[in-house]
Amino acid sequence: MFIPACSGYESTWRFFTEEEAKTVIAFTEQIIPADHDPGATDANVINYIDKQLVSYYTRFQDRYKKGIPAINKSSQRILRKNFYELVWDEQTHFMEQMEAGDLPEEYWKETDQQSFFRMLLDHSMQGFYGSPRHGGNKDYISYKMMKIDYPHVIGQNRYDKLRTKTHVS
Amino acid sequence: MSNKHVNAVVVGAGAGGGIVAKELAVAGLSTVLFERGDWVTYDDHDDDELISQRTHPLKNAFGPDDERHRRVRVNADGSTSIVLPSEGGYNNNAACVGSGTVSYGAMAWRFMEKDFKMKSTYGHVEGSTLEDWPIDYFDLEPCYEKAEWEIGVAGDHNANPFMAPRKKPYPMPAFSYNREGKMLYDTAKRLGLHPFSIPMLRNSVPYGGRPACYRMRSCVGFACPVNAKCGTHNTVIPTALKSGNCELRTNCQVAEIMLNENGRARGVKYYDENDNGQIQTADIVVIAAAAVETARLLLNSRNKLFPNGAGNNNDWVGRNLQGHAYTGASGLFKDEIYDDVGPGACWAISDYNHDNDGIIGGGALCNSFVVMPYLFTRTRPPGAKRWGIEHKEFQRSKFKRIAHVRGPFQEIPNFEARVSIDPVVKDHWGIPTVRLSGSRHSYDPIGCQFMSDRAEEILKEAGAYFSWQGVGGRGLSGGQHQSGTARMGNYPQTSVTNKFGQVHDIDNLFIADGSLAVTNGGFNPALTIMALGYYVGDYIVKNWNGSKFK
């Protein structure tokens, strides 16, 4: 039997609201954009961050709850849109301002924009390059991008040559 | 239920404590070895970079945990912050059976003769507590040898012309170079330097009943999946347990050394794995909890005779905290120089450890352990963009085309770099926590600049088309190389223990870890800590009369 979705609004995330998730997805995709190799969204970096915020990173919950609205308020003020609604180059420029601490200060009284930027940067890198067991780096796609063998079988990348020469049995 | 009285308690099952426990147990002393952590194996972390010893944003697989442990850090502006073990400012080492020797890079350096005579070699340095050790290299030489043979070291004893005199070769042959190491070897030869394969506490051939290394990339920061890395957890501690005289108590947090009215140690108070307060009395107490926690334990152990902590009537406990500033340079190459042969570090020179024109001390220079993908995101030339396509392009095109040459610059100790007890903050058990304050001596950046210049010369000669320096700064260094907080010396006014690691005024209380080090050499200190373990253990055994100490 088909059960319709709950009538009330409910997020599909553990920690984020849908709006927050959209913001963080757009942000992390700027940190590690897709090109001919996958980017943060493909690697499920948002899932990594969402998962950590209800486990190891509960101490950062407050900064996310304050920082994400501050991003969108700043963006509304400058460009009259939420951050995740901006076009790519606008987002890039916005983040460069945030990294430099140049966003309107009135929205960043409770949490510092540069340190929040650095935290998002660091958490994105963890989600993209860390072990998939924490929810990101889906199928080790960052390892594939860097051409690092995984699973790590010692001698693997020399095995084929070896086999053609000396393999018996 | 009270614990049965024993001959000796050893606190800390790391490089020093594991060895002392084994020396005492094999000599027939009933011994309890305390460890606040547990056994850790490769299966506990796999090759998960986010919980490794080198980068542990989520937790450190080798302990301690964030839930029960914390420290207070005094910032440069005088403000304080609480830091957790997974955060950099904590200055973590490890908390598990074997401690740092489970996850270390396992370089097996002997200090040089001059490392024990820094003051007589270089004179007084303004604002420092630079001093000679009360023992010299030749006092420790037999202990270095014992560590090399009992724990296991692979190396070529003829390859480094600057190495201090030694009696025996290493028990295992040296490791071969990886591609990057071979390139740097040829380069150093062209420059007239003296490169060699780094001596390693790691099996190059089967040894000690354990197999040979198979060259994992994820080695430093991880336990070895095949047990080829040699630490106290897979050598001396099992020997101690097999003797029948040693009991290892894991997950036990020692809170205090009990002192009596005659100025002797009676044993320790500790919390067991169920957080129950317990007492273990002993004839001898040996502290080997590493420089930060050893100092904390002494400072937290007070009575009428020692109102400021055990052995601290002259205010030297916790002082002179040292580690190492890592300094060097990185270079980019057109061709791939990475061949995935771990652990990465294999090449070193010792040409710049001493006798540098106008420089106090110096250090070894080595190529780097493999920088794993997450850590590699922080490896960038100054000013490079840290995100976007530039970030990604650097990750995928430079990972196999980069070499790092760097090393530990011998720190000039100073009195204000210190461990004290925070007046307010307590840990899970209510034990007052460590407060870390001070910074490295102002000379450090000068020496680091000299070393980084040398490192960059080598990379340029090797053919790097672009290179940059990472120069060590003045941040307090108490991490894995922590030392100096219970310095040995001939005078109680200016040291904590005598030259045998025996605390002044408390003749049955010993220190047996890096805390004893007066200076920390220009090398990774693990083998020296092990040698000190043998040295102190030997003294205790020789002065034990079968039922009493002295």
pLDDT 10s digits, B116-141: 999 999 999 999 999 999 999 999 99
**pLDDT at residue B521 in the model:** 98
**Cα R_g (chain A), whole angstroms:** 20
Token code pair at residue B111? 């200090």
- Check CB contact of A157 with chain B, cutoff 8 Å: yes
Find where tokens 């594939």 sit.
Answer: A144
Cβ pair B470, B449 in contact under 8 A: no
Number of C-beta neighbours around residue B413 at 10 A: 25
Residue A6 is assigned to a structural domain of this protein: no
Nearest CA in chain B to A148: B340
What is the secondary structure of B272-317 as a DSSP string?
-TT--EEEEEEEEEEE-SHHHHHHHHHHT---SS-TTSTT-TTS-T
Q: Can you give the residue range of the structural domain that contains A128?
A: 18-166
Domain count, chain A: 1
From residue A31, alpha-carbon distances to A71, A92, B58, B293, B375 in Å are 15, 9, 20, 39, 16
Residue A65 DSSP class: H
**In-domain check, residue A5:** no
Does this model's pTM top 0.90? My answer is yes
HSE at residue B460, side-chain half, CA atoms within 13 A, is 10
Collapse the DSSP code of B469 into the 3-class scheme (helix H, G, I; strand E, B; otherwise coil) and give the result: strand
Alpha-carbon span B132 to B129, nearest angstrom: 10
For the record, the structure tokens of B90 come out as: 């904590």
Chain centroid, CA B433 distance in Å: 21
Any CB–CB contact under 8 A between B57 and chain A? Answer: yes
User: What residues of chain B lie within 8 A of the CB of A89, using their CB?
Assistant: none
Is A52 inside a domain boundary? yes
Calculate mean pLDDT across residues B17-26: 98
B380 touching chain A per CB within 8 A: no
* CB < 8 Å to B394, chain A: none
What gap in Å lies between CA B476 and CA B472, rounded to an integer? 11
Beta strands B324-332 and B466-470, pairing class: antiparallel
pLDDT for residue A162: 40
Q: Is A163:A169 a contact under the CB 8 Å cutoff?
A: no
Q: Is the dihedral of CA B512, B515, B516, B521 positive or negative?
A: positive
- Residue A23, token pair as written in the block: 């913001």
CB B363 within 8 A of CB B352: yes
**CB contact, 8 Å: B391 with chain A?**
yes
**What pLDDT score does B550 carry?**
64
Query: How do the pLDDT tens digits run along chain A, 169 residues long?
Result: 455 455 456 789 999 999 999 999 999 999 999 999 999 999 999 999 999 999 999 999 999 999 999 999 999 999 999 999 999 999 999 999 999 999 999 999 999 999 999 999 999 999 999 999 999 999 999 999 999 988 776 654 444 444 444 433 3
The number of beta carbons lying within 10 Å of the beta carbon of residue B381 is 14
Distance, in Å, from the CA atom of A129 to the CA atom of B98, rounded to the nearest integer, reads: 29
Average pLDDT over residues B469-489: 94
Nearest to B184 by CA among B326, B338, B54: B338
CB spacing of A148 vs B50 below 8 angstroms: no
B58 interfaces chain A, CB cutoff of 8 Å: yes
On whether residue A119 sits in a domain, the answer given is: yes
- The reply to whether B81 touches chain A by the CB within 8 Å rule is no
Tell whether A8 is covered by a domain: no
Chain A interface mutation, best of B44, B179, B392, B396, highest count of A Cβ atoms under 10 Å: B392
Tell me the pLDDT band of B47, cut-offs 50, 70 and 90. confident
**CA-to-CA distance for A45 and A28, rounded, in angstroms?**
7
Alpha-carbon distance B103 to B219, whole Å? 7
The helix-helix angle for B526-542 and B137-147 (nearest 10°) equals: 100
Quick check: B58 and A121 CB within 8 A? Answer: no
pLDDT at A133: 94
- Let me know if residue A11 belongs to a domain: no
User: Cβ distance B538 to B143 under 8 Å?
Assistant: yes
In chain B, the percentage of residues whose pLDDT exceeds 90 is: 96
User: Which amino acid is located at B319 in the chain?
Assistant: R
Q: Is A65 on the interface with B (CB under 8 A)?
A: no
Check A35 against B392: CB less than 8 A apart.
Answer: yes
Long-range contacts of B203-209 (CB under 8 A, 24+ apart): B203/B152, B203/B154, B203/B172, B203/B228, B203/B229, B203/B230, B204/B154, B204/B172, B204/B173, B204/B174, B204/B175, B205/B154, B205/B172, B205/B173, B207/B152, B207/B171, B207/B172, B208/B152, B208/B234, B208/B235
Q: What is the mean pLDDT of residues B13-24?
A: 98
The model's confidence at residue B306, banded by pLDDT at 50, 70 and 90, is: very high
Residue A24's Cβ-side half-sphere holds a number of Cα atoms within 13 Å equal to: 29
| Gap from B228 CA to chain A (nearest CA, Å) | 14
Name the residue of chain A whose CA is nearest to B216's CA: A154
Residues of B286-314 as b/e, b for ≥16 C-beta within 10 angstroms?
A: bbbbbbbbbbbbbbbbbeeebeebbbbbb
> Is residue A12 included in any domain, yes or no?
no
Out of A3-17, B344-358, B458-472, least confident range = A3-17
Report how far apart the first and last C-alpha atoms of chain A are (Å, whole number).
Answer: 56
Q: Do A145 and B48 touch (CB under 8 A)?
A: no
Q: What's the mean pLDDT in B331-347?
A: 96
Across the interface, of B50, B374, B391, the residue whose CB is closest to A32 is B391
Residues of chain B found within 8 Å of residue A142, distances taken between Cβ atoms: 373, 395
Rounded CA Rg of chain B: 22
What helix, strand, coil percent values describe chain B, rounded to 5? Answer: 25, 20, 55
Strand partners, B437: B418
Distance to chain A for B220, nearest Cα, Å: 16
Torsions phi, psi for B321 (to 5 deg): -60, 125
Instruction: Answer whether B237's CB lies under 8 Å from B251's CB.
Output: no
Indicate yes or no: CB of B374 within 8 angstroms of CB of A30. no
Domains of chain B and any CATH numbers: 6-369+401-542 (3.50.50.60)
Task: pLDDT band for B76, please (50, 70, 90 cuts).
Answer: confident
Q: Which of B48, B66, B373 sits opposite A143 (nearest CB)?
A: B373
Instruction: Report the side by side order of strands in the sheet with B402-410.
Output: B196-197, B347-349, B365-367, B402-410, B324-332, B466-470
User: Which amino acid appears at position B257 of this protein?
Assistant: I
Give the N- to C-terminal CA distance of chain B in Å, as an integer.
30
Fill in the DSSP letter of residue B147.
H
Closest chain A CA to residue B394? A146
Question: Taking CB atoms and an 8 Å limit, are A131 and B46 in contact across chains?
Answer: yes
Q: Is A31 on the interface with B (CB under 8 A)?
A: yes
Contacts of B391 in chain A (CB under 8 A): 31-32
**Cα–Cα dist B79/B199, whole Å:** 42
Handedness of CA B112, B113, B118, B121 (dihedral sign): negative
If you count residue pairs, one on A and one on B, with CB atoms under 8 Å apart, how many are there? 80
> Are the beta carbons of B47 and A131 separated by less than 8 Å?
yes
pLDDT in tens, B213-255: 999 999 999 999 999 999 999 999 999 999 999 999 999 999 9
pLDDT tens-digit series, residues B185-220: 999 999 999 999 999 999 999 999 999 999 999 999
Residue of A nearest to B58 (CA): A56
Strands B347-349 and B196-197: antiparallel
Position with higher pLDDT, B362 vs B87: B362
Query: CB-based contact (8 Å) between B76 and chain A?
Result: no
